[in-house]
Structure 1
Amino acid sequence: AGGLILIFIMILIFSTTLLNIDLKELLSNFISKVSQFLKLFWFKIKSVFTKEKVGKEPVVKIDNKKKDLTTKEKPDEPKETKIEIVKEKVEVPEPLQNKLETPKQIKTSVRKKENDEEKAVDEIKPEKISGIQPWDESLKFELPPLNLLEAPVSVHEIKQSELTQKAEMIKNKLKIFNVDIQEIKVTPGPVVTLYEVVPSPNVKVNTITSLKDDLALALKARGIRLIAPMPGRGTIGVEIPNDSPEIVRALSIFGSQKYQSTNYPLPLAMGKTADGDIFIEDLTTMPHLLIAGATGSGKSVGINTIINSFLFKLHPSKVKFVLIDPKRIELAMYKKLKRHYLAVCPDIKEEIITNPENAVTVLKSLEAEMDFRYDWLSKLDVRNIKEFNDKLATGKIKEKDGIEFHPLPYIVVIVDEFADLMITAGRQIEDSIARLAQMSRAAGIHLIFATQRPSVNVIRGNIKANFPSRIAYRVSSRADSFTILDQTGAEQLLGNGDMIYNKNDNMIRVQNAYISEQEINRVLDFIDSQEGFASPYLLPSVSNNNKGNREAVGEFDQLIYDAAVLVLRNRIASVTFLQRKLKLGYARAARIMDELEQIGIVGPLDGGKNRLVLIDTQEELDQIFDSYNIPRSSSYS
C-alpha cells in the first residue's frame, strides 16, 4: 500500500511537471469536492434519523394588551382560536359612580319635570349672574358629569386567525422578494393593528419600504402605513386596518383613570393610539397646534373633542376660549359658554367670531392682551403665566406700583377654517398670527388652527415654523400630507377620525374620540344652567388705541365725512375709489384715506388690495365722528 501511494505521488508530480499543471490548485479543487461530498452525505444521514426540516419558520407573536402569546402550531392543527380584546374599563369618579345613567334617562334643568309645560331654561330660572370676576376661583361651579356622555361598547372581539393570517401574508409576500423575516409581533388596536416586523440582519430597510404597494395589494387593504424603522424598537412597523373597526367614544377617554388623574394645565385628550392607550397631551408644551384634514375626515369632531376635553377638566376661571368660525355653523353652539368660558373683545358684538374683519380686530386685541400680560410678568419678575399665578396664590404679592394683580387664565384661540381667513384678510391677519405664535406661549395664549386645504399658500413658512405640533387627518394628496407633516402618509389614512399626531418629528397614529352633537348640547346646557361670572373675560379694546382728541391727530379734511359715508355704503376703501366719486386728485384722496385709518373707519394698507372697512352701521360712524368732534355735514346724508 505504501509503495502504491509513493508511485501515485511520483506519477502525479511527473504529470503536473510534464503538462505544466499547478499542483496546489489541483489539490485544493480535489479537497473541496471531497468536503462537499462528505457534507451532503452527513446531511442525508441526519435528515433520515432526526426527521427535521432545514431552517426554521419565522416566529409570529401576537401581543394583545402587552401579553405575548407565542403560537407554535402544528401543520395539521386548525387556526380557529379567537382573542377576546376587552376594552379598558371606564373609570368613573366616586361621586358619579352611583349616578351613572344612560343618556335617555338623564334629567337636567333644561326642561321642567313631568306634567309641567316645556319651557326654556330662562323661563324656569332667571339667568344667574354673580358679581364674581371671570378669573375668580370662588365661583361655585360643578364640572359636567360623565353621565352626559353615551356609554361605549365594553367588549370588542378580534379573531386570532385574522391576526395570524395577515402576519403570514406579510411574511409570504416579503419572502417572494427574498426578504427573510425573523419575527412578527402583532399589537391589536381599536381601528388599526400594528405588525412589527424584525427582518434578518442582511436585509436593507429600503428594500421593505419599497414593497409598500405590494403589501397593500396582497392584504387587500387601504390605509396601510409603514414606519421604518420604529424609534427605539429595532423593528419595522406595518399598520393595517382591522376588518371590524371599533368606535372610540368620548366617555372611554374622559372617564379613563389617565385623564382623571392628569395634572396638565391644559389637558388635550384626543382618543386612543394604535396600541389602545389613551392619548393625552399638554397644550402648554406644544404650545400651538395646526390641524389639517379634508371634508369628512373628522376634523370638526376633533375640534369638538378638544374643547370638551377642557370643559370636563377645568374650572371656568382657569381657561377662556376665543372661537373664530368663518363657516358660521360649526362653533355656533358654544355661545352658551359666554358667561363661563368665553373671552370677548369689547369692539365686537359677536361672541363667536364669524366676520373676517372682526377676526382681524380680535387678533389685534389678543396682541394687546399679550403685551399687557408681559408687563405684569415683568413687574413680578416671573417668566411665564404659571409662575405668575403660583406667586399670587401664595398671597405674598397682591399689589405693586399701584397695580392690583389678579390671576390670569389661559386663553385658547380656535380657528375652524384658517384658509378662509387667509384668503379674505391676507397680510393683516398673517402678521398678527406670526407675532402671537412667536411670543404668546409665556403669556398663556395658545393657538389651534384648522384648515381643509393645507397648501403652501395657506400654511406659509413663517406660520408653519411656529407650529411644531400638528395633527393630520386624511388629506387629498401626497403634497398636502408633506405640507402638514413634512412627509407623506396622511393621504393613506382611513378618515372618520383616523389621524397622525406629529410633534418634533415624532409620529403617533391616533383614533379620534367621537362626541355627538347631542352629547355636546347636553354638556353646554348643563354649564349654562349654572351661575356665571359678572361678565365675560374682556380683552383690551383696540379701537381705543386709535382714538384721540382732535388736537392729537390734527385738522381733518372737509370731505372726510363724505368719504366715510361712501366707504360705509359701498364697502370699498381705496384711494382710486375716492378719486372717482369725489373728483379729487390723488394726493388729497390718499390723505383722506389715511385720516379714515387714524380714526378707525378703515384698516391699514394691505399691498394692492382694498383696505378693510372696520364699521358696519351708520350709528357706529356717527359715534366715531362725535368722539373726534368732526362736523357731519354731507351731501350724501
Structure 2
Amino acid sequence: AVTNVASGVAASTKPKYSIPDDGSLSIEDMPVNYRYKAPPLDLLRDYGADPQALLEENEKRKVNSETIVRVIKQSTGIDVTVENIIAGPSVTRYDIAIPDDVSPKDVFHAKGDLAFRLKVSDLRMYNVPNESLIGIEVPNKVVSIVGLKSTLASPEYKALKKKGLQFVLGKNILGKAVVLDLARMPHLLVSGATGMGKSVCLSSLLISLLYRYSPDEMRLIIIDPKVVEFNMYKGIPHLVFNDIIGIDKRALAVLEWAVGEMETRYQFLAENGCKDIGEYNAMIDTTKVKRVPYIVILIDEFADLIMADEKNKKKIENYIGRIAQKARAAGISLILATQRPSVNVISGSIKTNVPSRICFKTATSMDSRVVIDENGAEKLVCKGDCFYKTSDEGFLQRAQGAFVDNPEIRSVLDYIRKNNKSYYDNKVLELINAYATEDEGDDEDFAPQTPGGEVDEVMKKALRIVIDQRRVSNSALRTKLGIGYNRAATIVEWMAKMKYVSDCLDNKDRTVLITQEQYEELYGEFTRDF
C-alpha cells in the first residue's frame, strides 16, 4: 500500500508521487513544512592574528620575492620574474614566469637551494593549473587562524544558491572560502596524523551543515569509536535516531540498513520518474508534502571499525562499495575518517569508490600516497593545513581548514536543541539493533539452519517463491506478497542469516541454497499458492 501525495506536486509536473507507508523515506511524526530555526552566527568566535606580526610577514614577502629570482638564476642560469604574490592563511605562493624555451622541470631543480635560502624546512613547487606559471608555496612564519564564522560570513558562501549538501572546508591560498558539495561527491575520505586537524575538520563540516540545512532536508548517523568525540551531538533534531553508534555490531548493521534504504529509494525514484532525490524535492510542494531528506553517515576512525571486526571486514568493504557506487541519486553520503591511512584500512576498492579526499599532514610519505595518491601531505606545515580534491576536480588544491572549538560547538548544538523540536525514526534504530543482535552463525557453513523464533506465513511463502524461482528478487517478493520495500528486504536478510540464500557479496546476485525437500523437512508441505 502507498500513500498518494500527487496533490502536493507542483502544478507543472505530471507524475504521481507516492511514498511507502512504512515511513522508510520520511519520518512519520514530523510535520509537513517543518520550520527550522537556524543558529545565529554570533554563537561563533572571531579569530585574528597580531597586526604587527602580519605587517612583518608582509615585509618579508618582498625580500623572499627577490631571493627567489636570485637563487633560481644562480642554481639554473634561468631568468625568471615574480608575477604574483598571493598571501594565504598558512603559506604564501609566489607565481613565477619562465622563458618560453625553458622547461618547468629545469626550474624545479632549484627547490633545495630555495628552501635553504628562504630558511624553511621545505616548500612546494608545481605548475599552476590553467596558467603558464610555476607556483612556489613558502610556509608563513605567522599562521592566520581561519575561524568557521569568517567562512560562513564570507561573500563566496553567502552568494551560493542553496542546493545539495554544501559545507565549508576553510579558505584557500587566495583567502576565499572553500565551499564543497557533499551531495555531488557524494562520499568523502578525511585523513591526517593525530593533532593535525582531522577532528576539527569533521566538526566544522557538521556545524556548517547544521547552519544551512533543516532536519527535513538532511539527517545524520554518526559512528564514533571513542563514544565521547561526537556524543555532544545527541539530542539534535538532525539525527535519524537519537543515538551515537560505537564500534560494535551496530556499526556494521548501520551499513547493512543503508544498503537497504538505498535500494528502497532507487525503487521509489524509478516509480516516480525522478533521477535523484534533489529533483524529487524540487518538484513537490513542500507546504503539502514532506521532503525526502539527504542522509549523511559519518564514520570517525574508520580503521577501528575495520580492525575491530576482521571477521566482517569483507562485508564492511562490500557494503561501502555498494553504497559508494549507487547512493548519489539516493541522497546517501558516506564520510570515512581515519588517522591511520594504511593500505590495510583504505583498500583499493574503497579508494576507487571514494574519490573525494581531504588530507591533513600525514606521518609518512607512504600515508600521503595512500590518501592522495602522491607525496606531499607529509610536508604540510601546520594544524589545519590540508590538500583536497573532489570527484569533479581531480587535481590537488590547498586550503587552511576552518577552526571551531568545543565551546562554540556546544553553543550551536544547545541553541538548535532548545529552539527546534526533534522527530526521530525509532524504527530504524530498532531495525539496526535487531540486525546487530541476531546470531550470525558460521559463515562457512551454508547448510540451512533449523528455524529459530517465530516464522510467520508471509516469510514461509516468500521462501517458497524463492525456491520455486531459484532466484532472489526483492521486487518479485513485493509484487507477489503485496508487502513494502523494507519488509521484503528484512525477509531476504532473514533468509541469508538462516543460510537459505547466500550473502550478497561483490555486487553479485544471491544464490538459493535451500531445496524443496529441505523446506518440507523444516516447514511442512511445499504449496505453490503464489
TM surpasses 0.5:
yes
Partner residue, 1:494: 381
1:374 Cα shift? 1.1
Partner residue, 2:204: 305
Matched, 1:517 2:392: no
> Does the Cα contact within 8 Å between 1:289 and 1:448 map onto a contact in 2?
yes
Correspondence 1:104-143 to 2 at 5 A:
133=28, 136=31, 138-143=33-38
> Does the Cα contact within 8 Å between 1:341 and 1:536 map onto a contact in 2?
no
Partner residue, 2:516: none
Q: For the residues of structure 1 that align with 2:421 and 2:496, how far apart are their CA atoms?
A: 33
Q: For the residues of structure 2 that align with 1:479 and 1:299, how far apart are their CA atoms?
A: 18
Correspondence 1:581-620 to 2 at 5 A:
none
> Does the Cα contact within 8 Å between 2:247 and 2:304 map onto a contact in 1?
no
> Does the Cα contact within 8 Å between 1:575 and 1:590 map onto a contact in 2?
no
Matched, 1:432 2:319: yes
Task: Select the residue among 234, 247, 250 that pairs with 2:145.
Answer: 247
> Does the Cα contact within 8 Å between 2:247 and 2:308 map onto a contact in 1?
no
Give the aligned residue type for 1:461: G
Please give the TM-score of this superposition, normalised by the length of structure 1: 0.62
Q: For the residues of structure 2 that align with 1:270 and 1:200, how far apart are their CA atoms?
A: 36
Q: For the residues of structure 1 that align with 2:429 and 2:271, how far apart are their CA atoms?
A: 19
Decide which structure has the larger Cα Rg and report it: 1
Task: Select the residue among 249, 266, 271 that pairs with 1:379.
Answer: 271
Q: For the residues of structure 2 that align with 1:201 and 1:574, how far apart are their CA atoms?
A: 68
Q: Which runs of 4+ in 1 moved over 6 A?
A: 543-547, 593-597, 599-606
Correspondence 1:202-221 to 2 at 5 A:
202-221=101-120
Partner residue, 1:389: 281
Give the aligned residue type for 1:211: A
1:478 Cα shift? 1.3
1:371 Cα shift? 1.1
Q: For the residues of structure 1 that align with 2:227 and 2:166, how far apart are their CA atoms?
A: 27
Q: Deviations over 1:586-621 (max 9, x none)?
A: x8x976699799599899999xxxxxxxxxxxxxxx
Q: For the residues of structure 2 that align with 1:147 and 1:489, how far apart are their CA atoms?
A: 37
- CA change 1:541–1:387 in 2 (3 A) is farther
Q: Deviations over 1:195-253 (max 9, x none)?
A: 111122333212222332332222121352112x1111111111111111111111111
* More contact order relative to length (CA 8 Å, sep ≥ 6): 2
> Does the Cα contact within 8 Å between 1:366 and 1:539 map onto a contact in 2?
no
- CA change 1:332–1:444 in 2 (3 A) is same
> Does the Cα contact within 8 Å between 2:496 and 2:502 map onto a contact in 1?
no
Alignment partner of 1:465: what SS?
A: helix
1:462 Cα shift? 1.5
Q: For the residues of structure 1 that align with 2:451 and 2:107, how far apart are their CA atoms?
A: 63
Q: Deviations over 1:274-313 (max 9, x none)?
A: 1111111111111111111010110000000000111111
Give the aligned residue type for 1:478: S
Q: For the residues of structure 1 that align with 2:257 and 2:308, how far apart are their CA atoms?
A: 19
Matched, 1:416 2:314: no
> Does the Cα contact within 8 Å between 1:473 and 1:499 map onto a contact in 2?
yes
Partner residue, 2:229: 330
Partner residue, 1:145: 40
Q: For the residues of structure 2 that align with 1:593 and 1:366, how far apart are their CA atoms?
A: 28
Q: Deviations over 1:351-382 (max 9, x none)?
A: 11103311100111111111111121111111
Q: For the residues of structure 2 that align with 1:505 and 1:178, how far apart are their CA atoms?
A: 32
Matched, 1:178 2:76: yes
1:393 Cα shift? 2.3
Matched, 1:162 2:60: yes
* Paired residues, number: 429
1:411 Cα shift? 0.5
Q: For the residues of structure 1 that align with 2:250 and 2:290, how far apart are their CA atoms?
A: 28
Task: Select the residue among 221, 237, 240 that pairs with 1:343.
Answer: 240
Q: For the residues of structure 1 that align with 2:69 and 2:443, how far apart are their CA atoms?
A: 71
Q: Which stretches in structure 1 are left out of the alignment for 5+ residues?
A: 1-131, 345-349, 399-404, 548-563, 577-586, 607-627, 630-637
- CA change 1:136–1:171 in 2 (3 A) is farther
Q: For the residues of structure 2 that align with 1:179 and 1:203, how far apart are their CA atoms?
A: 11
> Does the Cα contact within 8 Å between 1:198 and 1:236 map onto a contact in 2?
yes
Task: Select the residue among 352, 357, 363 that pairs with 1:476.
Answer: 363
Partner residue, 2:177: 278
Q: For the residues of structure 2 that align with 1:601 and 1:135, how far apart are their CA atoms?
A: 34
Give the aligned residue type for 1:518: P
> Does the Cα contact within 8 Å between 2:357 and 2:371 map onto a contact in 1?
yes
Give the aligned residue type for 1:456: V
Q: For the residues of structure 1 that align with 2:178 and 2:108, how far apart are their CA atoms?
A: 27
> Does the Cα contact within 8 Å between 1:546 and 1:598 map onto a contact in 2?
no
Q: For the residues of structure 2 that align with 1:516 and 1:456, how far apart are their CA atoms?
A: 31
Give the aligned residue type for 2:230: L
Give the aligned residue type for 1:376: F
Please give the TM-score of this superposition, normalised by the length of structure 2: 0.74
- CA change 1:406–1:141 in 2 (3 A) is closer
Q: For the residues of structure 2 that align with 1:421 and 1:394, how far apart are their CA atoms?
A: 38
1:463 Cα shift? 1.3
Alignment partner of 2:149: what SS?
A: helix
Matched, 1:320 2:236: no
Partner residue, 2:98: 199
Give the aligned residue type for 2:325: Q
> Does the Cα contact within 8 Å between 2:76 and 2:107 map onto a contact in 1?
no
Q: Deviations over 1:540-572 (max 9, x none)?
A: 86579989xxxxxxxxxxxxxxxx9xx99xxx9
Identity %: 33
> Does the Cα contact within 8 Å between 2:225 and 2:300 map onto a contact in 1?
yes
Partner residue, 2:247: 355
Alignment partner of 1:232: what SS?
A: coil
- CA change 1:376–1:137 in 2 (3 A) is same
Partner residue, 1:234: 132
1:537 Cα shift? 7.1
Alignment partner of 2:387: what SS?
A: strand
Give the aligned residue type for 1:259: Y
- CA change 1:406–1:144 in 2 (3 A) is closer
Task: Please give the root-mean-square deviation of Cα atoms over the aligned residues, in Å.
Answer: 3.3
Give the aligned residue type for 2:410: N
Matched, 1:506 2:395: yes
